[in-house]
Structure 1
Amino acid sequence: MYHVLLAVDEDEGRSTRIAETITSLPSASTDVFVSVFHCFVDNPAGASATQVGSVRAVQGILEEAGIDNQVLEASGDPADTILEAAAEEQADAIYLGGRKRSPAGKALFGSVTQSVILGAELPVTVAGKTQTTAE
């Protein structure tokens, strides 16, 4: 079983795009297990990750594709907690969404994405926001 840690923030577009990338993996419905991970930077109300819209959207996409998953959460520095969760869960890969960048900024990732890429000892896949066309 190929275990993916899918890091999800509050941006539903980025989150659903990376979930769709996972559903396109070969034999995803039978050979992939996903840990949907959300990090709260600040959570004074004590919310659960399952209350975050992007987490629910990702779960819906994965379940529709027949991919088994679980939801994990933590609080703290997003890059550090993503790497810690991947190690604890013994993930085979980390998937996370990238942000739209200006032409000059395309050579650089966001700070969380860059920190995860540089700190990971396993493959990291970054997918951008789904493009929509104006009609």
Structure 2
Amino acid sequence: MTIVVGFVPTKEGRAALHRAIEEARGRSTPLVVINSNRGSRDFDDETSRLAEEELRELTSGLGAEGVQVEVRQLVRGNEPAEDLIAVANETDADLIVIGLRRRTPVGKLILGSNAQRILLDAPCAVLAVKG
């Protein structure tokens, strides 16, 4: 039993992480934090380092609070939805926590929606939080 949370260094990502920590603490279950990126020219070593640093800061001290945390930074060319669903299957997750941002209907149509894919294809319950 685990909780999987998708994290990006945005207000929505931070809200999802904080809620996932609360859920993990309340359920006494491990937390797997996923920072997924497809990789591109925009995702360089500095961007990766900053994301890792922020994750380390946000999750440091959780072990002392009784929350077992595993952080995975994935840059495999997958969509974030694919990575979250794969990790949820791998860890037999009870819950996936994601952050939502407001998008226009046209934006959803053209770009697709990782949140929608997770909601439809997840092997477990999904908790969506606003930023």
Range into which the TM-score falls when normalised by the shorter chain: 0.7 to 0.9
Match of 2:6 in 1: 7
- Structural mapping, 1:90-109, within 5 Å: 90-101=92-103
Residue correspondences, number: 122
Which is richer in helix? 2
Tell me which amino acid in the other structure corresponds to 1:55.
Answer: L
Determine if contact 2:3/2:96 at 8 Å carries over to the other structure: yes
Whole-angstrom CA distance in 1 between matches of 2:86 and 2:26: 26
- Structural mapping, 1:1-135, within 5 Å: 2-11=1-10, 13-25=11-23, 28=25, 31-42=28-39, 45=44, 51-52=50-51, 53-60=53-60, 62-63=62-63, 65-74=65-74, 75=76, 76-101=78-103, 111-129=113-131
Whole-angstrom CA distance in 2 between matches of 1:61 and 1:127: 23
Question: How does the TM-score come out when normalised to structure 2?
Answer: 0.72
Q: How many Å apart are 1:65 and its aligned residue? A: 4.4
- How far does the alpha carbon of each residue in 1:3-36 deviate from its partner, in whole angstroms, 9 at most, with x for none? 101111231x1122122223433x7167121000
Q: How many Å apart are 1:116 and its aligned residue? A: 0.5
Question: How does the TM-score come out when normalised to structure 1?
Answer: 0.71
Structure 2 gap ranges (5+): none
Whole-angstrom CA distance in 2 between matches of 1:61 and 1:20: 13
